[in-house]
Amino acid sequence: MACSGETALPDAPIKIAVGGAAGRMGQAMADAVRADPALQLVARFDRPGVEGAGLVDRAAALELADVVVDFTTPQASVELAQACAERGGPRLLLGATGFSDEQVAEIAEAAKRVAVVRAGNFSLGLNMLMGFVERAARVLGPDAYDIEISEAHHRHKVDAPSGAALMLGAAAARGRGVDLDKVAKRGRDGITGARTAGDIGFSVLRGGGIVGEHAVTFAAEDEILTLSHSARDRGLFARGAAAAARWVADRPPGHYDMRDVLGFSRD
């Protein structure tokens, strides 16, 4: 899949540093970089105190890289964005989820000085799904169609709903021209009363080794439409991040997401 702004391979590979390198996503990202002829893995680092073959400290990694990729935690992402902004680079891809509004604001401030792509999910397929959901929500209005978002992940995931589920909710809300925070229903228990028209509901499953399942259901009295995505291997997130790394390598400062990478209209 060609992403917006994709060009021929550069004369020299784009130099990539991977944060959280000792974790599962860090390892998958390193493998994806090694497999991409347009990219060169120049550094791997983790949080202070984590040791491993070939790991360097963060300062050394930033010195070597054109783009840094990190899938660790919101606070680590904020600190990394601030460090990159202070230096004027390298550019940055952030894949953590569970950011607070304050942390998002801090990253946006750093993005005034360095290009940052932040996404709750780097899967190219799931990000295409978000585009479909937004368009469907524009047409299938709240007078007839209720929206429910369901997601399932492995037992180790610490935030809920997932960042990708919230992004799908935001896409549906954009399609309907509403604020997600005002219509989101993240849990139901007990005597809840009848559903309010226009609500966007969320349900969550955690268990086993589920990589990632997301579905958006548009339910009317006489028909049900379900748009879904199923992740089979974490490598797909790393491949999407590799595509985003190629895209951001020559971008000016800004706070970007996968809609920018894929060339989706923001109308």
In-domain check, residue 195:
yes
Nearest to 46 by CA among 137, 143, 29, 160: 29
> How much is the pTM?
0.75
Average pLDDT over residues 204-214: 95
In-domain check, residue 164:
yes
**Structural domain count, the chain:** 2
User: Are residues 241 and 202 part of one domain?
Assistant: no
Question: How large is the C-alpha radius of gyration of the chain?
Answer: 19
- What pLDDT, on a 0 to 100 scale, did the predictor assign at position 8? 47
In-domain check, residue 4:
no
CATH at 72: 3.40.50.720
Cβ burial of 31 (10 Å; 0-12, 13-18, 19+) is middle
CATH at 154: 3.30.360.10
Supply the DSSP string of 40-79, one letter for each residue.
EEEEE--STT---TTB--HHHHHHH-SEEEE-S-HHHHHH
- What pLDDT, on a 0 to 100 scale, did the predictor assign at position 16? 98
Residue numbers of the domain that contains 56: 14-122+234-262
Q: Is the pLDDT of residue 4 over 80?
A: no
Beta bridge partners of 185: 201
Annotated catalytic residue within 153, 214, 229, 255: 153
User: Are residues 112 and 28 part of one domain?
Assistant: yes
Q: Is the pLDDT of residue 45 over 90?
A: yes
Annotated catalytic residue within 15, 154, 156, 157: 157
User: Are residues 227 and 128 part of one domain?
Assistant: yes
Helix/strand/coil for 227: strand
- What pLDDT, on a 0 to 100 scale, did the predictor assign at position 7? 46
User: Are residues 94 and 144 part of one domain?
Assistant: no
Average pLDDT over residues 181-187: 94
In-domain check, residue 111:
yes
User: Are residues 61 and 131 part of one domain?
Assistant: no
- Label the pairing between strands 212-219 and 146-153: antiparallel
**Which H or E run contains 213?**
strand 212-219
In-domain check, residue 267:
no
pLDDT digits (tens, 9 = 90+) for 64-77: 999 999 999 999 99
In-domain check, residue 133:
yes
Who contacts 22 (Cβ-Cβ below 8 Å, separation ≥6)? 46, 50, 52, 55
In-domain check, residue 6:
no
Check if 157 is active-site: yes
As a whole-number percent, the residues of the chain with pLDDT over 70 amount to: 95
pLDDT digits (tens, 9 = 90+) for 59-116: 999 999 999 999 999 999 999 999 999 999 999 999 998 899 999 999 999 999 999 9
In-domain check, residue 100:
yes
Cβ burial of 100 (10 Å; 0-12, 13-18, 19+) is exposed
Q: Is the pLDDT of residue 37 over 50?
A: yes
Residue 237 CA to chain centroid, in angstroms?
Answer: 9
Helix/strand/coil for 89: coil
CA distance 51 to 255: 32
Between 216 and 264, the more confident residue is: 216
Between 2 and 202, the more confident residue is: 202
What are the b/e assignments for 105-135, b being 16+ CB within 10 Å? ebbeebbebbbbbbbbbbbbebbebbbebbe
Instruction: Return mean pLDDT, the chain.
Output: 92
